[in-house]
Structure 1
Amino acid sequence: MSTSTLNESALNEHDAELAKIAQRCIMAALDHSRAHKIILVDDNDQSGNPPTLEVPPQALRLFAEILGKMAQRQPFSLIPQKLLLSTQEAANILNVSRPFVVKQLEANKIEYIRVGRHRRIAFDKLIEYQNSMLREADDALQTLADQAQALDMGY
């Protein structure tokens, strides 16, 4: 995606506020009524019969998350779960270097397949790896905090 495309997709203040209001409405509907329908209203529609859109609650939650990111003017991307990623794409998602990802693959820390000479990583396997790394980091941080408490270091 080019920089100009990213700049063009930025919301103005009015659109960001509309996204925030829409997110609140969806979340309120999900919290109270287990709603699975959205009724779209067109102020100019004279038929009195607005179209009804039936959507699974899981999709409504996704819409709400997207609207929340839009309201905060944060960039986001959607990635299909069954997607196979190159080592560079995996590195971009993990925010690490490609050589680091290759080392993790060679150490069998991330499952992958070969397509010809190329390594491909399933998106769900990459997320499993990312979550395990986050858990390990949290555990290490907790261990350090416990040691600091035991040594009365003032933390």
Structure 2
Amino acid sequence: MAVSHRTSSDKTTKTSNAIPAPERSAAARVASLLGAKQALVQLIDADGERLELPQVLADVMYQAAELLAEGRPVTVLPDEEMLSTQAAADILNVSRQYLVRLVDTGELPAEKVGSHRRLRATDVAAFKTARDAKRASALDRLTSLSEDVGGYELGTKRPSRET
């Protein structure tokens, strides 16, 4: 599972862990090649020996390459990996306290290990995917509403409100 980390510093164009342009370009090329969904993905070593990659590995490489091409740092975790609340909060780009509230309200499953909460990487990734889909849907609705009331029309003046 490839997981992209987004931190508050990612909001600026230059970040401390930004992916350099040549690496982004190479990642975009790899994503383009892997995205073609060719029947066979192979690696060739220095001696010319070919190794066919399993599709699941090619899929992980494709996801990672896409994220890197966007300039987003990537971490690959096994599905069964158990994360601390801080690590999960970092992946979701929320505070640890907010994440604990999500766990306590049952919105995000977790297990107790001693006095600590641990979250499965797959649960965190699924939560992030669902959250991002909700956000995108809400943004689409907001854009549609703005278009309906003429919020994007250029050159028109809105009447001023007087109180």
TM-superposed deviation, 1:17: 9.1
The aligned residue for residue 82 of structure 2 is 84
When residues 129 and 143 of structure 1 are mapped into structure 2, their CA distance, relative to the original with a 3 A threshold, is same
Structure 1: runs of 5+ lacking an equivalent: 1-6, 43-49
2:141 to 125, 140, 143: 143
When normalised by structure 2's length, the TM-score is: 0.64
SS in 1 for 2:75: coil
What is the root-mean-square deviation of aligned Cα atoms in Å?
3.4
When residues 121 and 74 of structure 1 are mapped into structure 2, their CA distance, relative to the original with a 3 A threshold, is closer
When residues 101 and 60 of structure 1 are mapped into structure 2, their CA distance, relative to the original with a 3 A threshold, is same
1:109 to 107, 110, 114: 107
Structure with greater Cα Rg: 1
SS in 2 for 1:128: helix
The aligned residue for residue 96 of structure 1 is 94
Structure 2: runs of 5+ lacking an equivalent: 1-15, 154-163
When residues 104 and 19 of structure 1 are mapped into structure 2, their CA distance, relative to the original with a 3 A threshold, is same
Q: What is the CA deviation profile of residues 46-99 of structure 1, one whole-angstrom value per residue up to 9, with x for unaligned ones?
A: xxxx32323212313433555566677753221111101111000110111100
Identity across matched positions, percent: 22
When residues 152 and 72 of structure 1 are mapped into structure 2, their CA distance, relative to the original with a 3 A threshold, is closer
User: Within 5 A, what are the aligned runs for 1:6-155?
Assistant: 16=23, 19=26, 23=30, 26-27=33-34, 31-32=37-38, 34-42=39-47, 50-66=48-64, 75-154=73-152
Q: What is the CA deviation profile of residues 105-137 of structure 1, one whole-angstrom value per residue up to 9, with x for unaligned ones?
A: 111100111111111111111111111211221
More helix by share: 1
When normalised by structure 1's length, the TM-score is: 0.67
Name the CA distance, whole Å, in 2 between partners of 1:133 and 1:68. Answer: 20
